[in-house]
Copies of this chain bind each other. A is one copy, B any other.
Amino acid sequence: MKYMNTMLSALLLSALALPVAAQAADKAKMVIQVSQNDAAVWNLALNNAKNIQKDVGKDNVSLEIVAYGPGINMLTAESEVGNRINEAIDSGVQVMACQNTMRNQKLKPEDMNPKVGYVASGVVEILQRQQQGYAYLRP
């Protein structure tokens, strides 16, 4: 009986502890939407990412910038914020271009900043990231 009680206690503790442990393991996560063809917004998005990394420590946060629709031009090879995007990627920010938008705008991978990543659909990525616990930001 004592043995069973011990087992029950252990089970109860582990059941209760589980969500807390899972939560503690989570690091801060945010998906940043860029859907405007406006360099001021692109710079805001990059400033916001940089400030978050500075304030919470870049190893303590997962940041992902998703550019789609009219925002896709942020990530072309000719984008005026190309250098800043490269810096963001080098410091650990994921920067993703929407392939749906690229197809609609006849943009090919060779037209894009060579360092960016790709997602099939920017808006689905933004949906799924939130459902994975990412906070959302539209600068």
Contacts of A26 in B (CB 8 A): 131
Say how far A27's CB is from chain B's closest CB, in angstroms.
10
Contact of A137 among B4, B11, B127 (CB under 8 A): B127
Contacts of A51 in B (CB 8 A): 100, 121, 123-124
CB within 8 Å for A130 and B123 given contacts A7-B8, A12-B11, A15-B15: no
A68 to B15, CA, bound (A): 40
A127 to B29, CA, bound (A): 8
Q: Which 9 A-B pairs have the closest CB atoms?
A: A130-B135, A55-B121, A127-B135, A48-B123, A55-B124, A15-B15, A30-B127, A138-B138, A136-B136
